[in-house]
Amino acid sequence: MHRVTAMKNIVYIATSLDGYIADRDGGLDWLHSIPNPDHSDFGWAEFMAGVDALVMGRTTFETVCGFDCDWPYNKPVFVLSNTLTEIPENYQDKAELVSGALPEIINTLNKRGFENLYIDGGKTVQSFLTEDLIDDLIITQIPVLLGGGSRLFSDLPAHQAYELVNSEVLLGAMIKNHYRRVR
Ligand SMILES: NC(=O)c1ccc[n+]([C@@H]2O[C@H](COP(=O)([O-])OP(=O)(O)OC[C@H]3O[C@@H](n4cnc5c(N)ncnc54)[C@H](OP(=O)(O)O)[C@@H]3O)[C@@H](O)[C@H]2O)c1
C-alpha cells in the first residue's frame, strides 16, 4: 500500500539488475519476462489513483504512443520537450507540452491543482534528481542484466539519503522497493 500525500514528485519505474530502464534498442520486453498468470498489475492502478498527473520525457511519451494498446493513463500527461512544437493530433486530448526550468514547471502544475506528480523517463528522472526534486522512488527490480541501454540513474552533484517505506517480493522473482527522500 502506497498512500501518497500532497505535493510529491514520485518515480514509479522498473529497472534491470544493472540499472537500465530500456535495452540498447529501446526494448521493454524484459519487463514481462517473469510469468504473471493472474495478470497482476503489481499495484500500478492503486498508485495511479493517488497521482494527479504525469510528467514524462519526450522519448517515453513517443514510446507509449507506439504501444499497440489503448492509452494507458487516466490522468493528464505533461510531456517535457525542447524539440516538439506540438503534441500529435491523436494525443492532444491526453497530453500537453511543457518546457523550461523544472522548479517552474512543477510550481505551475502544483498551482493548477496537480500536486502529486508521477515523473517518468530516464533522462527526466535524472534531471529531477540532479535538482533534488524527487520525494519518492518506487523501483521494481527485474532479475535480468541488460548490459546496456537507457539508464535510470546518472551522476549527481551530492549524496541524497532515502528511507525504505516498503519492500515487496513480487511473484517470488522481482523486488519492489519504495524509498522516501530524507531531507
Ligand atoms: N522500465 C520502465 O519502467 C520505463 C519507464 C519509462 C520509460 N522507459 C523507457 O526508457 C527510455 C527513456 O528514454 P530517455 O532516458 O531518453 O528519457 P526520457 O526522459 O523519456 O526523454 C528524454 C527527453 O525529454 C526531453 N526533455 C525536455 N526537458 C527535459 C529535462 N529537463 N530533463 C530531461 N529531459 C527533458 C528531451 O526531449 P527533446 O529532445 O524533445 O527536448 C529529452 O531528450 C525509453 O526507451 C522508454 O520507453 C522505461
Distances (CA, A) of 46 to 1, 6, 51, 69, 79: 8, 16, 9, 20, 22
In which band, very low, low, confident or very high, does the pLDDT at 4 lie, cut at 50, 70 and 90?
A: very low
CATH no. for 8-30+38-181: 3.40.430.10
Q: How many angstroms is it from 90 CA to the middle of ligand 1?
A: 20
Task: Give the residue extent of every domain in the chain.
Answer: 8-30+38-181
pLDDT 10s digits, 135-156: 999 999 999 999 999 999 999 9
Query: How high does pLDDT run on average in the chain?
Result: 96
pTM for the structure as a whole: 0.96
- Nearest Cα to Cα of residue 163 among 141, 152, 178, 176: 178
Give the position, in ligand 1's atom list, of the atom nearest the Cα of 152.
15
Residues with CB under 6 A from ligand 1: 13-14, 21-22, 26, 28, 31, 56-60, 63, 80-84, 102, 120-124, 127, 150
